[in-house]
């Protein structure tokens, strides 16, 4: 059996350091670091107020597991997951949800199936430990695995980690590769010269060997703001400015009134 190696992508660096959760309307535990929202309409039309200048999509295949399956003593990944859970916070599922405990979901992909720009975002890679069989490789954090062929590596991540670099997954070979490679343009909302992206499809089907086969499609769009969109945005920005100014004015008046009450109390004394 070929050695099972892990390349564990940080994929987003700072946001993944946050692992606290809040509850959404469906009583799910949504990780606070999950700030992404879908800017791409479900019907495939252009986002409101913007013109799509370029688009690219790509479909990927992987497997998806519950944590309980990965930690099963018979699983070749059990030793690695034990170490992995100790130093990687959980960024959430496809919806940013943390089911907690054994129900947490993880995606496993062949390293060679990960697009090069996205693969280059990996924060850590690991090599087999000499203390366990090669088929049960354990993680050695920070240990270089350059000598290990890429075809002998797998990548493991929680699905929410993808959101930080979604455009990189479809950038290579697309007609707007430069746009998608520039993550400074990547946004979770529509704005001029922005890039938006979303995993528009993901489907899990039970496999014959007990694994869950995962198929997911990532769509990325490069946008230009329309005249109508610009007018709408400027109107809302003006309105929000007025609201903030009014709020600050009321706060100042409340503080002055409070100081006046204190002064009157002192005079009465």
CA distance 194 to 167: 11
Torsion sign over Cα 64, 69, 75, 78:
positive
Token representation of residue 20: 């606290």
Mean pLDDT per segment of 10 residues, for the chain of length 269 residues? 43 32 54 90 88 95 90 81 72 90 89 82 39 34 58 87 93 94 92 93 82 93 87 82 91 86 68
- The contacts of residue 37 (CB under 8 Å, 6+ apart) are 188, 189
- The contacts of residue 6 (CB under 8 Å, 6+ apart) are 77, 80, 84, 125, 126, 137, 139, 153, 154, 155, 156
CA distance 136 to 144: 18
Write down the pLDDT at residue 199.
96
| Residue 160 vs residues 19, 60, 198: alpha-carbon distances, Å | 12, 15, 11
| Residue 211 vs residues 77, 93, 206: alpha-carbon distances, Å | 13, 17, 6
pTM over 0.75: no
User: Taking the CB of residue 116, how many other CB atoms lie within 10 A of it?
Assistant: 10
Write down the pLDDT at residue 12.
30
Write down the pLDDT at residue 209.
65
Write down the pLDDT at residue 86.
63
């Amino acid at each position: 059996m070929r050695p099972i190696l892990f390349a564990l992508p940080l994929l987003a660096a700072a946001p993944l350091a946050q692992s606290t959760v809040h509850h959404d309307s469906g009583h799910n535990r949504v990780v606070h670091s999950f700030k992404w929202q879908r800017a791409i309409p479900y019907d495939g039309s252009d986002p409101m107020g913007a013109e799509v200048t370029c688009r690219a999509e790509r479909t990927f295949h992987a497997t998806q597991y519950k944590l309980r399956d990965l930690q099963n003593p018979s699983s070749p990944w059990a030793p690695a997951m034990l170490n992995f859970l100790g130093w990687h916070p959980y960024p959430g599922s496809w919806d940013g949800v943390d089911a907690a405990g054994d129900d947490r979901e993880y995606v496993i992909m062949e390293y060679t199936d990960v697009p090069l720009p996205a693969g280059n975002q990996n924060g850590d890679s690991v090599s087999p430990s000499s203390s366990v069989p090669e088929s049960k490789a354990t993680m050695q954090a920070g240990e270089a695995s350059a000598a290990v062929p890429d075809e002998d590596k797998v990548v493991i991540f929680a699905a929410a980690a993808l959101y930080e670099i979604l455009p990189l997954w479809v950038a290579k070979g697309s007609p707007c590769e430069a746009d998608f490679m520039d993550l400074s343009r990547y946004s979770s909302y529509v704005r001029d010269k922005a890039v938006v992206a979303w995993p528009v499809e993901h489907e899990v089907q039970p496999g014959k060997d007990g694994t869950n086969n995962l198929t997911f499609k990532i769509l990325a769009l490069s946008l230009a703001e329309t005249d109508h969109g610009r007018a709408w945005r400027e109107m809302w920005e003006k309105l929000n400015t007025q609201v903030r100014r009014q709020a600050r004015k009321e706060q100042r008046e409340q503080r002055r009134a409070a100081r006046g009450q204190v002064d009157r109390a002192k005079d009465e004394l």
